Amino acid sequence: MKAIPTGSDSEIRIYLARQEVEPGEMPKPASISDDQVKEFRDNELPEYQDLASGKMTKEQYWAKNHFDPNEAKKLADTEDSTFKGLFTLLTLTRFGIISMIAGAGLAYRLSANA
């Protein structure tokens, strides 16, 4: 609600433009149509205002929008374990094993002469 203190069209355009771009990219408020601003003002803005004012709890908001925090955590954990599995698989290839042995041998040689 800090991004849209008065609820004006220009504030809503800037907010929606920021939501559409990747971090670090410049938002383009002109790309937001009047229909998108009207839809946001009619549907989402009242929910955010109720949430910010305390009329609606975050649990009620989650239930209304069919969001399950446990499911989101499970999905994030699955993505993390997939990455770890892929990384492990890549390091266990022949070249990976040979590189690790060569690196360990080089480290031993360098430390033995020191």
Reduce the secondary structure of 55-111 to three states and give it as a string.
Answer: CCCHHHHHHHCCCCHHHHHHHHHHHHHHHHHHHHHHHCCHHHHHHHHHHHHHHHHHH
The pLDDT value given to residue 114: 61
User: Where along the chain do its domains lie?
Assistant: 9-64, 69-113
Q: Residue 104: pLDDT band by 50, 70, 90 thresholds?
A: very high
pLDDT in tens, 38-60: 998 888 888 888 777 788 887 88
pLDDT above 80: residue 109:
yes
Mean pLDDT of the chain: 82
Record the pTM.
0.49
What residue type is 40 in one-letter code? F
Please give the share of the chain, as a percent, with pLDDT higher than 90. 6
What residue type is 28 in one-letter code? K
Contact 12/40 with Cβ under 8 angstroms?
A: yes
pLDDT in tens, 62-81: 777 778 878 778 777 777 77
The pLDDT value given to residue 106: 92
